[in-house]
Amino acid sequence: MKTLICVGECMIELSETGQTVSGPGGASLMARTFGGDTLNTAVYAARALAGNGQVGYATGLGDDPFSDEMLAAWQAEGLSTDLVLRFPGRLPGLYAIKTDGAGERSFHYWRVNAPARDMFKHPEQDNWAEALGRADMLYFSGISLAILDEDGREGLLAIAEAVREAGGHTAFDTNHRPALWPDTETAKSWMERAFRACTIGLPSLEDAGALGFGSQPAAVAETCKSFGVEEIVVKDGAGPSLVAVPGQPDVLVDGQSVDRPTDTTAAGDSFNGAYLAHRLMGEDPVSAAAQGRAMAAWVVSHRGAIVPPKPAENPN
C-alpha cells in the first residue's frame, strides 16, 4: 500500500458559528475544533483514498487533553499517527477564524510555543526523519517551513530531496503567511528551495504574485518549471486551475465552483488532499485536478476547516 505523509502543524481552531451571545456586546459564539493546512490536506486525502493508500501525519503535540483529542480524531479519520512526536508539558497552538459576509476569512494565531516548531529538536527526530524519507509521497507547505528555525527547514528540505532521489514524489504548496516570515525575500528564498526539492508544485496564484513568482497562471507554471518541478497545478480561487507538465500543453481545469461560498477556509488544502490522493492512486494530473476542485467545492459550502464527509465518503 502506497503512503502519503503530510508534515506540518495542527492547532486548536476556534471558528464563528454565526450565532451571537445574548446581551450587551453580542459577541460571536465560537466552535472549538482543530485545523492546520497540512492536517486538513491529510484528512481530505485519506477520505479521497478511501482505503486505497495510507496517509500519515507528522507533527509535534503536547501531552495535554487537547492533544489527546486531536490524535483520537485523526485516527478516526483513518490517519496514521505513528509520526506524531509528543512533547511533555507543551500545548498545541491555537487560532481563531473570523469570516466576512462574502465567506472570506482572516486568521488570528497564538502559536509561539507550539511543539510543532521543535519537531527537528525532539529526542527521536533521527528515527522520525528516516521514517519520513521512506514515504512514497511527502507533502509540506510554506507554513511547514515558516514555523521551523533554519536548522529545521534544512532538515525538512533534506528529507524532501531524499524522497525525490529515492523515486518518490514530494509535493509543496506555498501557502504564504507573511506574518510568519521576517520579510518577503526570506520567504521567497526558502520557497524557491522547496520547489527545487519537489516533483509536484501546488502554488496559489495569490501567493505566487505576492512572492514574485508570476502574476499569471502560465507565468507561475514557467517559474516552477525553471526550478525543476515536474508537475504544477496553479490554483486561482474559484477560477480555473492550470495544470502544467514540462513538454506538454498547459490545461485549464474548470469543474465545480460555488456561487456563494459559506467559508473558504481549507479550500486549497482540500484541493491538495484530493489531488494528491488521486495522483497516488495513479490518475493523471488533469483528472486529479478535477477531483480536487470537486472536493474544494464541497468544503467551501460548509463552515470550518474540516467539514463533514461528502455522502459518498461516509462509511455509514
Catalytic residue among 173, 254, 269, 284: 269
Residues 6+ apart with CB under 8 A from 244: 218, 221, 222, 224, 225, 231, 232, 233, 234, 250, 251
Count other Cβ atoms within 10 Å, centred on residue 260. Answer: 8
Among all chains, which residue has been given the C-alpha cell 517559474?
Answer: 223
Cell numbers linked to 57: 501525519
β-bridge pairing 84-86 and 231-236: unpaired
* Residue ranges with strand state E in the chain: 3-7, 11-20, 28-35, 54-61, 84-86, 94-99, 105-110, 137-141, 169-173, 200-201, 231-236, 239-244, 251-253
User: Active-site residue 269, yes or no?
Assistant: yes
Count other Cβ atoms within 10 Å, centred on residue 127. Answer: 11
The answer to whether the beta carbons of residues 64 and 89 sit under 8 Å apart is: no
The type of residue at 300 is V
Spatial distance between the Cα atoms of 203 and 271, rounded to a whole number of angstroms: 11
CA distances from 51 to 14, 45, 57, 314 (A): 30, 10, 16, 13
Q: Residue 278: CA atoms inside 13 Å, Cβ hemisphere, count?
A: 19
CA distances from 118 to 24, 60, 86 (A): 42, 7, 10
The answer to whether the beta carbons of residues 61 and 30 sit under 8 Å apart is: no
Which residues carry out catalysis? 269
